[in-house]
Chains A and B, each alone.
Chain A
């Protein structure tokens, strides 16, 4: 088994944020590129960054806020230490994904879309990882897992809780 990959994020820092924004601001249609870069650095898009992005791109705060909130990927606060995503789309449903999702919820004590009280695990639905011929599938901190069954899921949950 591969070692747990734990994403390491920097704490929010305005100067660093400004640097990241400046790095990408020259590209055409840069809003998503910048939001991605900010989230990659800090693990979420801090609210304080929104007006900074707006100013750099000559947009209103409302416009940037609108983009930020439209896309499922962007987080307004940091996720748990580990993020476990379970595919909830049709191919995985056909292969027993519903029962596995319920099992993960029960094991972690949170419903999909939430983080455990100890901030250790965020459990999220994802709509298709493109692993539909090796369904059901999951992603733990960027690592892909196919042919999920109860045993594998339990191992993943245990790994995420460590």
Chain B
């Protein structure tokens, strides 16, 4: 008998033992004289079920999880005799958590072998590029614009307009840069897609290249993601071998080449101009805009710089048409968003869905509340620069404008859940501390304000002149907000002010002697 098994090679699955499970399966099968082929896929994104083991059957893949090494013998028994098993989850595609998603970008992630170009093509890969090649630049720009796709890195700038600007700018060289410096805590969608479906990113970037007339692209990946670096490099080699990178892509007259560059542990390099400086080999100091990167970007040349998820959305838009994408979503937020549920959460992972789902649905219903079982008290949406939302705001729909209207941001789509043991003074202090650690130093409000912010919040924690210091922190936040060039200094006030506003009780009840003397 022979079996085809699937075990993830995703970094987070590996971190909870996927490699050990894969090895145990191989060894136990060999011992029994059973032939198994173990395909190492990306992750399906249901991280509480990792390590997930799937087996191919005529009725589709059947999932088991979370599997440990010790489960392996009984699992093989159950597979051999087709009997029930405690960890059996049924047909993977029918698992409700997966079934209720709209996976456009993540359709292949966890399904295919990320190292196999053939597998990618067999699952619809490169259809988008094929159509793009037949459309030509203007028609591609129309499609991307009509899809309503907005930058998935966080800023939400319309991708079509950005590409058009670069396409219309004359220059001897142009560049495509993929921002894979996914530094926000609570986000891992870029990592997952690079590890689980790297050709998708390559296809999106290649499409951008032929659209704007760029022949060279860089993927700037943070050094904290060694698995993603490896996966992208392997995919680039395979794409070159398959004539999907290099000269005469897919038999066309276009050329496009890609290179991975690795960051060096600077959060601020996720900011696009700082990233460009870093790519040029300099300190990651933010540039003033204008000039826009679209006019003068990498090495002073017109540059499309987009987030991983923006590029990854492109192949679907081209393959299925702008309307198929734009039909999803609400208001000015079109299409789907790969949302990442993280922190103290029962069902954490990657949930791709149309814009419009409420925060409460995401946290309570889909996420299943906290892992500790305690009540959810606060959720931080959009990374370290995102606001903390209380339960009272759980009716907020996941949409760029709706979050902005409530002094928050969706950022890169990360949601970090905290239970009722959270001390919001500590979280506010950390926001300032993180800004102080990561500030590039260019703008005074960010460079110095963050350190003063830490000190002032510490005074509040110690009960020193609480109301005066609270007013000072609010004032400081305003200075940072309006006096910083980029989102690091400009948005650090979001977590701080939201903590002050929605969780005031944590700040004013600091029980100390000094406060009593006031």
Query: A residues touching B (Cβ–Cβ < 8 Å)?
Result: 1-2, 28-33, 35-36, 57, 63, 66-67, 70-74, 87, 89-96, 126-135, 137, 142, 144-147
Known: A29-B299, A90-B185. 16 other contacts (CB 8 A): A2-B20, A32-B261, A66-B283, A67-B282, A71-B284, A91-B342, A92-B343, A93-B427, A94-B343, A126-B224, A129-B224, A132-B186, A133-B342, A133-B345, A144-B12, A144-B14
Chain B residues, Cβ within 8 Å of A30 = 281
* Total contacts A-B at CB 8 Å: 156
Let me know if B283 and A133 touch, CB within 8 A.
Answer: no
Interface size grouping (class) on chain B: 35 or more
* A49 smallest CB distance to B (angstroms): 15
Let me know if B264 and A133 touch, CB within 8 A.
Answer: no
Majority-rule SS of A interface residues: loop
B432 at the interface (CB under 8 A from A): no
CA distance A35 to B14 in the complex (A): 28
Let me know if A133 and B224 touch, CB within 8 A.
Answer: no
Task: State whether A70 and B283 are in contact (beta carbons under 8 Å apart), knowing that A32-B264, A130-B191 are contacts in the complex.
Answer: yes
CA distance A74 to B265 in the complex (A): 9
Chain A residues, Cβ within 8 Å of B185 = 87, 89-92, 127-128, 132
Let me know if A127 and B11 touch, CB within 8 A.
Answer: no
CB contact between A134 and one of B16, B266, B438 (< 8 Å): that residue: B16
B225 to A, closest residue via Cβ: A130
B293 at the interface (CB under 8 A from A): no
CA distance A127 to B183 in the complex (A): 7
Query: B residues touching A (Cβ–Cβ < 8 Å)?
Result: 11-12, 14-16, 19-20, 47-48, 50, 182-188, 190-191, 223-227, 261-267, 278-284, 299, 340-345, 348-350, 371, 380, 384, 414, 416-419, 422, 427, 430, 434, 437-438, 440
A89, A142, A146: most-surrounded residue (chain B CB, <10 A)? A89
Let me know if A36 and B264 touch, CB within 8 A.
Answer: yes
CB contact between B15 and one of A63, A92, A134 (< 8 Å): that residue: A134
Chain B residues, Cβ within 8 Å of A126 = 224
CB contact between A29 and one of B190, B223, B280 (< 8 Å): that residue: B280
* A126 smallest CB distance to B (angstroms): 6
CA distance A70 to B281 in the complex (A): 11
Let me know if A94 and B417 touch, CB within 8 A.
Answer: yes
Let me know if B187 and A130 touch, CB within 8 A.
Answer: yes
Majority-rule SS of B interface residues: mixed
Task: State whether A134 and B47 are in contact (beta carbons under 8 Å apart), knowing that A35-B264, A71-B266, A90-B343 are contacts in the complex.
Answer: yes
Task: State whether A31 and B12 are in contact (beta carbons under 8 Å apart), knowing that A74-B264, A89-B384 are contacts in the complex.
Answer: no
Let me know if B187 and A94 touch, CB within 8 A.
Answer: no
Task: State whether A133 and B341 are in contact (beta carbons under 8 Å apart), knowing that A73-B223, A93-B430 are contacts in the complex.
Answer: yes
A69 to B, closest residue via Cβ: B283
CA distance A96 to B374 in the complex (A): 13
CB contact between B184 and one of A28, A94, A128, A131 (< 8 Å): that residue: A128
Let me know if B188 and A130 touch, CB within 8 A.
Answer: yes
CA distance A104 to B371 in the complex (A): 23
CB contact between B261 and one of A33, A93, A146, A147 (< 8 Å): that residue: A33
CA distance A29 to B299 in the complex (A): 9
CA distance A31 to B184 in the complex (A): 25
CA distance A89 to B435 in the complex (A): 12
CA distance A57 to B282 in the complex (A): 12
Let me know if B265 and A94 touch, CB within 8 A.
Answer: no
Chain B residues, Cβ within 8 Å of A36 = 223, 262, 264
Let me know if A31 and B15 touch, CB within 8 A.
Answer: no
- Top 10 nearest A-B pairs (CB, nearest first) are A133-B348, A89-B185, A31-B281, A71-B264, A132-B342, A94-B343, A146-B15, A72-B265, A29-B281, A133-B47
* B95 smallest CB distance to A (angstroms): 16
Let me know if B380 and A90 touch, CB within 8 A.
Answer: yes
Task: State whether A132 and B348 are in contact (beta carbons under 8 Å apart), knowing that A29-B279, A31-B282, A94-B418 are contacts in the complex.
Answer: yes
CB contact between A130 and one of B224, B264, B281 (< 8 Å): that residue: B224
CA distance A2 to B15 in the complex (A): 11
CA distance A23 to B281 in the complex (A): 16
* A130 smallest CB distance to B (angstroms): 4
CA distance A71 to B263 in the complex (A): 9
